[in-house]
Amino acid sequence: MSSPSLGEIVSLNTFGTRMIVLGTHEAAVELLEKRSSIYSDRNMTPTAELAGFDWLIAMMRYGPRWRKIRAVFHKCMNPNMIVQYRYLLRLVENPAKFYQHGRHLIGAIIIRVAYGIKVVGENDKYIKIAEDAMDAFNIVFQPGRYLVQTFPSLRHIPPWFPGAKFGREFADWFPIVQKIHEVPWETAIAERLKGNTPASIVSTLMDRAEGPEDEQAAKGAAANAYIAGADTTLSTLQTFFAAMASNPLIQKCAQNALDTIVGPDRLPTMEDKPDLPYITAIVKECLRWRSVVPLSVPHMAIQEDEYKGYRIPVGSLVISNTWAYSRDTKYYPEPETFKPERFLLDSGELNPDVLDPAEMAFGYGRRICPGRFFAEASLFTVISSILHTFDISAPLDKEGKPMKLNVNMTNGVVSYPEPFECIIRPRSASAEALVRASASG
């Protein structure tokens, strides 16, 4: 393994694969965005196919199939989604399980948007199917776990061959992964045949479908929403809870803004967003403070290139180091401090001159996250609803003082805050009444 550092980029040679880590946001923009005709391929296709994930947009080779399914997906990611007010009620009734409630909420929103299926109960079968597939995803794509990621030719060895354990494991996951592709789709199509066509990705795409190829693209697009969108959005929601529990003054400032703009009689909606720049700044700071996809998803070069005198061979994996960019003091002084004010002018408006962390958190160029507006809208609605109705604080130590929360992130393609506790209570009796009234509506 060699690792020459070339200032802005670091190059590693791992088992014959050249990996190039871009050291700055500018380098990522220059290569992955401005030269995106070269850097938009992926290298994970064999692993994805073996485990049954051949419909995952994020892992597809750059080409006509990717282009078609991505285009249809992009068109129907409508940020105007429904908040599940039952979630707030669950926070009232069992606040200690805030992680499970969040996971259920995000899953329910995405299944509704993708298939038009309404998830209600905690033990919903669609949520279970989606979570099982997500568990498989997290294992299959764990960096370095399987040599087949590095040596695609290994896919052709028989499963009994020493070292071919992955083949047996992948065979176990295959039916689990298939379920998320098949089961909710079959339900949505059965409902459609009965004339039930609630607004969803499936409805929009099937209305326009002109043949089996379009129908397959619709099916793939819908299945992508959960795998790509659920744990990523949930990770940021968890970061939000940790940040609020550690920063009571920031929380109070957000609540004051909500009290002024929204008032006590209703919950905030996306329509309030232009009047709530402080909440938008909190969402941005959550995305910056703890990167969800710290090394993004590698882009593969399809032709040889040159950057600042350095040769980038064809087949190189080019990695944007989001974690480092979001700590670049040129853009973000005191990067470890959670500070939404960094995005605001003295007048309280958003400052257009501060680099938006969404510019890096969602990747670059032709492979940029197609769910980014949807994710930001979901996070705004959920976070503003929580702040409007709840106080979040750190657990108390033996002396009754708030404990300091250390928010460490897990390793993996998608990174999450490690489990932590916090205290979540309705802000007042009237806030609790509002939550109960909204849940029964």
78 within 8 A of 201, measured Cβ to Cβ? no
Token pair, residue 366, equals 């032709």
Q: Residues 355, 361, 363, CA angle at the centre, nearest 5°? A: 105
- Name which position in 149, 236, 255, 415 contacts ligand HEM (CB under 6 A): 236
Q: Which two tokens stand for residue 105?
A: 């909420």
What's the CA gap between 78 and 398, in Å, rounded?
47
Q: Could you say which residues in the range 343-382 bind ligand HEM, by CB under 6 A?
A: 361-364, 367-371, 374-375
Residues 106-135 that bind ligand HEM (CB under 6 A): 110
The least CB distance from residue 295 to ligand HEM, in Å, is: 9
Residue 59, both tokens: 């892992």
Applying CB under 6 A, among 76, 88, 228, 382 the residue interacting with ligand HEM is: 228
**Rounded-to-integer distance, Cα 166 and Cα 148, Å:** 8
Q: For residue 325, give every residue at least 6 positions away whose Cβ sits within 8 Å of its Cβ, in sequence order, or none.
A: 24, 25, 28, 331, 360
- CB 289, min distance to ligand HEM, A: 12
Q: Is 369 annotated as a binding residue?
A: yes
Helix (H) or strand (E) holding 48: helix 45-50
Stretch that binds ligand HEM, among 11-19, 78-86, 295-303, 383-391 (CB under 6 A): 295-303
57 binds ligand HEM (CB under 6 A): yes
Per CB under 6 A, 292 contacts ligand HEM: yes
- Measured from the CB of residue 221, what is the shortest distance to ligand HEM in angstroms? 8
Beta carbon of residue 164, minimum distance to ligand HEM (angstroms, whole number)? 28
Q: Tell me how many residues contact ligand HEM (CB under 6 A).
A: 28
Measured distance CA(401)–CA(404) in Å, rounded: 9
The total of other beta-carbon atoms located within 10 Å of residue 128's CB is 12
Q: Which of 109, 154, 267, 293 binds ligand HEM (CB under 6 A)?
A: 293
Nearer residue to ligand HEM within complex by CB, 243 or 431: 243
Contact 93, 101 (CB under 8 A): no
Interaction with ligand HEM in 157-216: which residues (CB under 6 A)? none
In the complex with ligand HEM, which residue's Cβ is closer, 38 or 58? 58
Tell me which stretch binds ligand HEM (CB under 6 A): 82-90, 177-185, 222-230, 304-312.
222-230
Decide whether 140 or 292 has the Cβ nearer to ligand HEM: 292
**Spatial CB neighbours of 94, under 8 Å, sequence gap ≥ 6:** 101
Nearer to ligand HEM, 228 or 258 (CB): 228
52 binding ligand HEM? (CB under 6 A)? no
Return the range that interacts with ligand HEM (CB under 6 A); candidates 97-105, 227-235, 239-247, 403-411: 227-235
Interaction pattern, residues 62-101, with ligand HEM; x per rule: CB under 6 A: --------x--x----------------------------
Shortest spacing between CB 385 and ligand HEM, in angstroms? 17
Q: Is 16 left (phi over 0), alpha (psi -120 to 50) or beta?
A: left
Under the criterion CB under 6 A, does residue 58 sit at the interface with ligand HEM?
yes
Token readout for 265 is 């009689």
* Closer of 157 and 199 to ligand HEM (Cβ): 199
Find, among 417, 435, 424, 429, the residue nearest to 392 by Cα. 424
Give 75-144 as a DSSP string: HT--S-----THHHHHHHH-GGGHHHHHHHHHHHHHHHHHH-----STT-HHHHHHHHHHHHHHHHTSTT
CA–CA dist 336, 259 (Å, integer): 29
The nearest distance, CB 27 to ligand HEM, in angstroms, is 14
What's the closest the beta carbon of residue 263 comes to ligand HEM, in angstroms?
29
Task: Report how far Cα 277 is from the mean position of its chain's Cα atoms.
Answer: 22
Question: For binding to ligand HEM (CB under 6 A), which residues are involved?
Answer: 57-58, 70, 73, 110, 224-225, 228-229, 232-233, 236, 292-293, 296-297, 299, 361-364, 367-371, 374-375
Q: Please enumerate, by residue number, every residue annotated as part of a binding site for heme.
A: 369
Q: Which residues are annotated as a binding site?
A: 369
